[in-house]
Amino acid sequence: MGKTFFTTLWLLFSFASFAQQPADRIIGNWESMDADVKLKFTIFKSEGKYFGKLLWASNMFEEDGKTPKRDFKNPNNMLQSRSRQGIKNTRLFL
């Protein structure tokens, strides 16, 4: 019985150590290789919150390949003319 108890206790502590991963591991540059859209973005921490910033996307430019697509879905009309590239986003991290 003593061996079973200590083995169970050891397993519980070892699993608990894996569960205690730091949240900052998400920080860095990431790529998404979705079948339709490829993305490169960075996640960073500022003032205790996590932010994401789009660096590049396969659908980031208009059909001419040079004109950046705009933030036309933004509810703020004044921001609809800005480029999507480099916009800070927190909505995905809430």
The answer to whether residue 17 scores a pLDDT higher than 80 is no
Phi-psi region of 9 (alpha: psi -120 to 50; beta: other; left: phi over 0): alpha
pLDDT tens digit string along 31-86? 887 777 788 888 888 888 888 888 888 888 888 888 888 888 888 888 888 887 77
The answer to whether residue 28 scores a pLDDT higher than 80 is yes
Determine the pLDDT at residue 63. 85
More confident residue, 13 or 33: 33
Q: Are 84 and 68 in contact (CB under 8 A)?
A: yes
HSE, CB side, 13 Å, CA atoms: give it for residue 45. 8
Could you give the domains of the chain?
22-93 (2.40.128.520)
